[in-house]
Each structure stands twice: as structure tokens, then as C-alpha cells.
Amino acid sequence: MKNKHLCIISFLIFVLLTGCSKKELKVPLEDVGMVDSMAFDYIDENQMRLTVAIPQYSPDAEKDTQTFSITTDLVSSGIVEIEKQSDKKIVFNQLRVVLVNEDFARKGNVRKIVQHLYRNAEVGNKVLIAVVKDNAEAILKGDYPDKPSINFYLNNLLEPSINTAFNPNTNIHDFMYSITNPVVDTVLPYVEKRGEKLEIKGVAIFKGNQMHELIKPEEALVIQALSGQKNLAPLHLDLNAGHGEEKVMIDLIESSVKKESNKNMESPKLTIFLKIKGTLSEYKGERESHLFTVESISDLEKDVNKQLEQDISEFLARLNKTEVDPAGLSEEFRMYHHGKWTSKKTRELIRKLDVKVHVETSIISTGTLK
């Protein structure tokens, strides 16, 4: 009997309480605009131009991508402004690419905007970051008639692929990791628009929070090799070792690197052992007709070693002079240093650093033709 009353009362309470509930504002999936790409352009110290690209799935729309641009001082207030123009609710769950233009990278605060995205739990870890030449807005708004849409194009371009393995594929975690880590300087791919195509022109190296210089893909490949990347992009070399001018292309490279430091902060010395294993895919030069025997191949290997050692040493010497350390060479010294490590120490160390490079190339095959 008692239970019956209890049941009736609780039933009544539940029915009446529904009146007190708030109407929930849930956005249906069709009304969600998932940002795929964002672009930041530098205006001045306080202002930036924010552009977002959202895929448009409605068959009635003429274009398959919606783009919105706004001039703003904060990322989130820019998004609020964009929501005023948009028919959809802007969310970042599918964000894939963030572009900043070169001016922004050199003068603005890239770290601040990336940190803002890193803080946002909606944003996944697959967001790739790149620096673009001139105007980032123009890239998102450009026409690429033979591509499905700018979002797919950009994302696929920046994703890891073996022929662009010099590309550091910096995602949001890598960026935050390297920019906050005193032993390594950030590297970002550098994209340029050429007519209806985009091209990865090289790699932008940061010094602290600002972009410092642009390096060529060949040099970027060295950074990738030295920071321990296993598979490298095809390596193109110009040899000049007593056989006239020769051109060599080594493909399908597997590399391994070992670094040994003398653990001395005052006169730092670093020896790098780089092992490269690959296929000789193309050769042009004097020795072309002799390259059948094992001996001649091993001769060629020696020449390649010498050339690589020279190139890498020159490149590192240049970097060391400008006190940037994108390959994280100073980590070899931090490992043995007691006390706090600061980026100032990295700069001092890298300026004094004396690097010796040993390269060991082995050409495992020359293809199936004799």
C-alpha cells in the first residue's frame, strides 16, 4: 500500500518536473559548419586577417567551399564575427590545416594562435601547420579547377608522402613541442601558390617564436635525416670527384643516425654517424658504362659519402653561425647537463659547436637491368 502511494507520488513529481527543464539548444548536424582550413594573414601587431574554409555539401550551392574572412585581434572573437556571417555553427572538430603567411610567421605571434587551438579540446592532433608565401587568404579563396576542393588539396599536399619526405609534417603537437622545447627550433613546410597549383617550396626555420629563414628541400632533408627520420625522400646529388660532372639520384632511402657528443659545454664537439641505404635509381656522367661491378659501385659510394659529408658540414656550419638548431643537436649536450636548460644555452652552445660528419652510403641495388 505504502509503495503504491510512493509510486504515484514519484510519477506525479516526474511528470510535473519536466516543466522545469530548460529547452536544450542542440545543433543538428546539418547546421554545423566544420572548419577544415584556417588561414592567418599579418596586418599589424594587433590585427590579423582570419580566413576559414568550410566544405559546402549542399548540392544547390555553386561552390563546394565556403570561405569567410574577417579582420580581428583575437582568434575566438574572429570566429564569433564569422558566425554572424555564416548560416552554420562554426566548430573545429574537423580542422586539418592551419596556414600562416610569411609576414605573420616573421613578425606575428604564431605560437599564440596555435596555443589557442591546442587548448581547445575539440581540435584533434591531425592539424597540419604550414607557412605560405605572400597571402594565405588567397590560397583558400583561390580556384583549383582540377582539384575536388581546396581543403582536400591542402591536406593531401601537406600529408606525409615519400617524395616530399623533407617536409617535416608539423602537426599541432609537434609545433607546440618544438616551440616550447629549448633544445630544438621549429620547422614548418613552406607553401607557394603558382597559378592553379600549390607547391612546397622548402622549409621555414624558426628561431624562438619567429620565422628565421627559408631553406631548400635538399637542406631540409638533412634536418629530417639528422633528427632520426627512418625513410627519406629521393636524394639528388651533384658529384665532382675526378670523373667530371656527375648526377646521381638515390631512391628509397633508409637512414639511421647516431650522434656522439663530447659532453663538454665549453668546447662542444659533436660527431654524427649517418648510415644511408638506398637504390641507385638514376645516374648521369662519365662512369655510366662502368657501373656494373661491385668495385665501381663501392667507388661511387665513397664519392657519395664525401660529397654528402661536405654538404652536410657546410649546411650545419651555416646554421650554427646563425644560432638556430632545427635538428635538435643540442639535445646531445642537455642529456649530460645537470641543472635547468634554457634556449639561451642552446644558442651559445650551437654557436661554438664543432660538428664532424661521417656518412656511410650503401647502394643495395641498381634496379633490375644489368
> Which chain residues interact with other proteins by CB under 8 A?
24-26, 93-94, 121-122, 124-126, 173, 176-178, 180-181, 331-332, 335-340
Identity (one letter) of the amino acid at 341?
Answer: W
| Closest of 58, 50, 120, 57 to residue 82, by C-alpha | 50
Whole-number minimum distance, CB 209 to other proteins, in Å? 13
Whole-number minimum distance, CB 14 to other proteins, in Å? 13
Which is closer to other proteins, CB of 78 or CB of 328? 328
Which is closer to other proteins, CB of 197 or CB of 337? 337
Which is closer to other proteins, CB of 121 or CB of 369? 121
Which is closer to other proteins, CB of 84 or CB of 119? 119
Neighbour-count burial for 250-284, b at 16+ CB within 10 Å, e otherwise: bbebebebebebeeeeeebebebebebebebeebe
Residue 188 to residue 201: CA distance in whole angstroms:
11
Whole-number minimum distance, CB 336 to other proteins, in Å? 6
Contacts of 79 (CB under 8 A, 6+ apart): 50, 52, 90
Whole-number minimum distance, CB 194 to other proteins, in Å? 30
Identity (one letter) of the amino acid at 245?
Answer: E
Kindly state the cell numbers that stand for 164. 616530399
Which is closer to other proteins, CB of 173 or CB of 318? 173
Whole-number minimum distance, CB 152 to other proteins, in Å? 14
Residue 251 to residue 277: CA distance in whole angstroms:
9
CB 97 within 8 A of CB 63: no
Residue 244 to residue 85: CA distance in whole angstroms:
64
Which is closer to other proteins, CB of 173 or CB of 197? 173
Backbone angles phi, psi at 128, to 5 degrees: -100, 140
Angle at 216 between CA 214 and CA 220, to 5 degrees: 95
Residue 136 to residue 131: CA distance in whole angstroms:
8
| Closest of 246, 255, 231, 242 to residue 312, by C-alpha | 255
Which is closer to other proteins, CB of 122 or CB of 314? 122
Backbone angles phi, psi at 101, to 5 degrees: -85, 170
Which is closer to other proteins, CB of 342 or CB of 365? 342
Residue 271 to residue 261: CA distance in whole angstroms:
6
